[in-house]
C-alpha cells in the first residue's frame, strides 16, 4: 500500500498509509479464490463475510461490498486500519503460502473510504420500536458496537460517555497519523443518524450509578475500557516529565496538544524522549514524540522478536527513525534541581528460560548499568480496568485485577440485567475483540429483551 515517505511523515500528523486506488483494490480482490469454506472468516472476531465483500470489489460493485461489510462491522474504516490482520483474518488465508495472503484489511479500508467519498451513507433497515431501553456505558468500540446492533433491532439506545467526545481509545489514544479522527467521527455520526442517543460528560458511578440507571433502562452494557495506568514503581517515577502513555496521548489526541498554542492544552517541548514498553501504545507514543521534533527511543526489556506491537507499526517506527534499545530495563530516573527528569539508569538484559507466556524471560546482566540522558519518559506498560463502575456497583463480580467478570459467550455479568465487554473485561486487547464482545453481548441482550 502506498505510504507517505518516512522523511516526510516523521514531521507531520497526516495519515501514514494512503490507501488503495480503485484499480489496485480490484486487482488485489481478483486474487481471492472465494473459498467455499473460507478460513479467513474464522480469524475475524466479528465474522465478516470476507469472500463476499472481496468478490464485490472484484466485480466493481462497491455498493454491495459496503453492505456486506456493514452487516457485521459497524466500524469498517477503523478496523481496516488498526486491526492486527496479520494475526487474524490474513494469517490463515489459504494463500499465505501460495503467492501471499489477500490484503483483507486494506480492502476493507478501501471500501469504507470509498463509501465516505460518496456523500451520505446508506441507512440500514431499522426495525419498528420495541419500547425497550438500553443504556451503554462507554463510547469506545465495544459500546459503539452494542449500540449499533441494538438500535437496528428497534431498541432505544443511549450511550453515556465520561469524556467530552465519543470514541474511547479511538479518539484519545490512537494518534491521528494512524487513525484520522474525522473517520471516527463519521462512524459516530452514523450511529447518531440511526437514532442512538449520545450523552457525553456523564460519568456513570458518579453522575448516576448503575443501579439508578437500572430503574430506567431494561438492560445495561458496560464497556468502560482500560483505566489507571501502571508504573514500574522505581525511584523517580513521579518526576516532572515522566508521563503515562494515557496522559501523553490524551494531551496530544483528545486535547489536540500537538496544535498548542492554537488549542490551549499544553505539551512540553522535549528533545530526548524515552518510551518504556513494546506494544502498539509504545509505538504510538514514540512516533508522536518524534513528530514533535524529539529524538525518540523505545526501551524494551526483551528483544525485537518479542515486541508485542504490530509488525507494520514496528517497521513504520524504524523507518521514521525511532531508536530501539532492546534487552534494556530502566531501574531509576534522575532529576534536576527543579524536579524534571534528566537521566535514566538502565540495566542490560539477556534472554533466559521461557516463562509462563512461552516467551524467553529477560534476566539482568550484573554490573551492566548505564545511563541515558533524557528529558522525558513515557511509561507504556499497561493499565488496570477503569475502577469507577466496579467501585460503585454492588453485586457486580470483579476479578483479581479489577476486571469485570463476564461470560465469554454472552457478556452476562453476575448482576441481573447488566452485560459487559471489551477492555474492562479482558484487559488491554484490540479494537476488533472489543467489537466482537460487543456483538455477542448485543445478541444476548436482544434475546433477553425479546423475552420480556
What phi and psi values does residue 448 have, to the nearest 5 degrees?
-60, -45
Nearer to other proteins, 83 or 274 (CB): 274
* Nearest one of 45, 52, 101, 108 to 76, comparing CA atoms: 108
Minimal distance, residue 314 CB to ligand SF4, in Å? 18
Stretch of residues binding ligand SF4 (CB under 6 A), selected from 45-53, 159-167, 289-297, 330-338: 45-53
Neighbours of 400 (CB within 10 A): 6
- By CB under 6 A, is residue 32 in contact with ligand SF4? yes
In angstroms, rounded to a whole number, what is the distance separating the alpha carbons of residues 421 and 408? 9
Per-residue string for binding with ligand FAD, 143-182, x by CB under 6 A? Answer: x----------------xxxx----xx---xx--------
186 binds, among ligand SF4, ligand FAD, other proteins, none (CB under 5 to 8 A by kind): none
In angstroms, rounded to a whole number, what is the distance separating the alpha carbons of residues 275 and 304? 15
* Nearest one of 450, 431, 447, 429 to 46, comparing CA atoms: 431
User: Which neighbouring-strand residues pair with 11?
Assistant: none
Please list every residue from 192 through 231 that binds ligand SF4, using CB under 6 A: none
Contact (CB, 8 A) for 443 and 435:
no
Stretch of residues binding ligand FAD (CB under 6 A), selected from 3-11, 117-125, 131-139, 293-301: 131-139
Of 149, 284, 320, 375, the residue at the interface with ligand FAD (CB under 6 A) is: 284
- By CB under 6 A, is residue 145 in contact with ligand SF4? no
Nearer to ligand FAD, 137 or 346 (CB): 137
Of 147, 196, 204, 292, the residue at the interface with ligand FAD (CB under 6 A) is: 204
Stretch of residues binding ligand FAD (CB under 6 A), selected from 87-95, 124-132, 328-336, 431-439: 431-439
What phi and psi values does residue 346 have, to the nearest 5 degrees?
-125, 165
> Which parts of 240-349 fold into alpha helices (H)?
245-252, 280-291, 311-320
In angstroms, rounded to a whole number, what is the distance separating the alpha carbons of residues 123 and 191? 10
In angstroms, rounded to a whole number, what is the distance separating the alpha carbons of residues 303 and 32? 35
The packing angle between helices 245-252 and 280-291, to 10°, is 50
Stretch of residues binding ligand FAD (CB under 6 A), selected from 41-49, 120-128, 329-337, 421-429: 421-429
The packing angle between helices 280-291 and 311-320, to 10°, is 20
In angstroms, rounded to a whole number, what is the distance separating the alpha carbons of residues 350 and 302? 8
Residues that bind other proteins (CB under 8 A): 162-164, 200-203, 206-208, 226-229, 231, 233, 237-241, 243-244, 246-247, 250-251, 255-256, 260, 263-266, 268, 338-339, 386-388, 391
Per-residue string for binding with ligand FAD, 360-399, x by CB under 6 A? Answer: --------------------------x-xx----------
What phi and psi values does residue 84 have, to the nearest 5 degrees?
-80, 70
Which grid coordinates are listed for 253?
489526541
Size of the site for ligand FAD (CB under 6 A): 41
58 binds, among other proteins, ligand FAD, ligand SF4, none (CB under 5 to 8 A by kind): none
- Peptide bond preceding 261 in cis form (omega within 30 of 0): yes
Which residue is it, cell 477503569?
386
Interface residues toward ligand SF4, by CB under 6 A: 32-35, 38-40, 44, 46, 48, 50-51, 54, 73, 79-80, 83, 85, 88-89, 93-95, 102, 104-105, 108, 432
Interface residues toward ligand FAD, by CB under 6 A: 82-84, 137-143, 160-163, 168-169, 173-174, 203-205, 223-226, 249, 280-281, 284, 386, 388-389, 422-424, 428-432, 434
Amino acid at each position: 500500500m502506498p505510504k507517505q515517505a518516512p522523511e516526510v511523515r516523521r514531521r507531520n500528523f497526516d495519515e501514514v498509509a494512503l490507501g488503495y486506488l480503485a484499480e489496485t483494490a480490484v486487482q488485489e480482490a481478483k486474487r481471492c479464490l472465494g473459498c467455499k469454506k473460507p478460513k479467513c472468516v474464522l480469524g475475524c472476531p466479528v465474522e465478516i463475510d470476507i469472500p463476499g465483500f472481496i468478490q464485490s470489489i472484484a466485480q466493481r460493485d462497491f455498493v454491495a461490498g459496503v453492505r456486506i461489510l456493514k452487516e457485521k462491522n459497524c466500524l469498517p474504516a477503523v478496523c481496516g486500519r488498526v486491526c492486527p490482520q496479520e494475526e487474524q483474518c490474513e494469517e490463515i488465508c489459504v494463500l499465505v503460502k501460495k503467492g501471499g495472503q489477500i490484503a483483507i484489511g486494506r480492502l476493507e479500508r478501501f471500501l469504507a473510504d470509498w463509501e465516505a467519498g460518496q456523500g451520505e451513507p446508506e441507512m440500514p433497515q431499522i426495525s419498528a420500536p420495541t419500547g425497550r431501553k438500553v443504556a451503554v456505558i462507554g463510547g469506545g468500540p465495544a459500546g459503539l458496537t452494542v449500540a449499533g446492533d441494538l438500535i437496528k433491532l428497534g431498541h432505544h439506545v443511549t450511550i453515556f460517555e465520561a469524556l467530552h467526545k465519543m470514541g474511547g481509545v479511538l479518539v484519545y489514544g490512537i494518534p491521528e497519523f494512524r487513525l484520522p479522527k474525522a473517520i471516527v467521527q463519521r462512524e459516530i455520526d452514523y450511529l447518531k443518524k440511526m437514532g442512538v442517543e449520545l450523552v457525553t460528560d456523564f460519568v456513570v458511578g458518579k453522575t448516576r450509578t448503575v443501579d439508578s440507571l437500572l430503574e430506567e433502562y431494561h438492560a445495561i452494557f458496560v464497556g468502560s475500557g482500560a483505566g489507571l495506568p501502571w508504573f514500574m514503581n522505581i525511584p523517580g517515577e513521579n518526576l516532572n516529565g515522566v508521563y503515562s502513555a494515557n496522559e501523553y496521548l490524551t494531551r496530544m489526541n483528545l486535547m489536540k496538544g500537538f496544535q498548542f498554542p492554537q488549542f490551549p492544552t499544553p505539551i512540553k517541548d522535549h528533545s530526548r524522549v524515552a518510551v518504556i514498553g513494546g506494544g502498539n501504545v509504545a509505538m504510538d507514543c514514540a512516533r508522536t514524540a518524534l513528530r514533535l521534533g524529539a529524538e525518540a527511543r523505545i526501551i524494551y526489556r526483551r528483544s525485537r522478536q518479542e515486541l508485542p506491537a504490530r509488525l507494520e507499526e514496528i517497521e513504520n517506527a524504524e523507518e521514521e527513525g525511532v531508536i530501539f534499545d532492546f534487552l534494556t530495563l530502566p531501574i531509576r530516573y534522575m532529576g534536576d534541581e527543579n524536579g524534571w527528569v534528566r537521566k535514566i539508569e538502565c540495566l542490560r538484559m539477556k534472554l533466559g528460560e521461557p516463562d509462563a507466556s512461552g516467551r524467553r524471560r529477560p534476566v539482568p546482566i550484573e554490573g551492566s548499568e548505564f545511563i541515558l540522558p533524557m528529558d522525558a519518559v513515557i511509561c507504556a506498560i499497561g493499565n488496570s480496568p477503569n475502577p469507577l463502575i466496579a467501585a460503585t456497583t454492588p453485586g457486580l463480580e470483579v476479578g483479581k485485577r479489577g476486571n469485570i467478570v463476564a461470560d465469554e459467550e454472552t457478556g452476562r455479568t453476575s448482576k441481573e440485567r447488566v452485560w459487559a465487554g471489551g477492555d474492562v473485561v479482558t484487559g488491554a486487547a484490540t479494537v476488533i475483540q472489543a467489537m466482537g464482545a460487543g456483538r455477542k453481548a448485543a445478541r444476548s441482550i436482544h434475546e433477553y429483551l425479546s423475552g420480556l
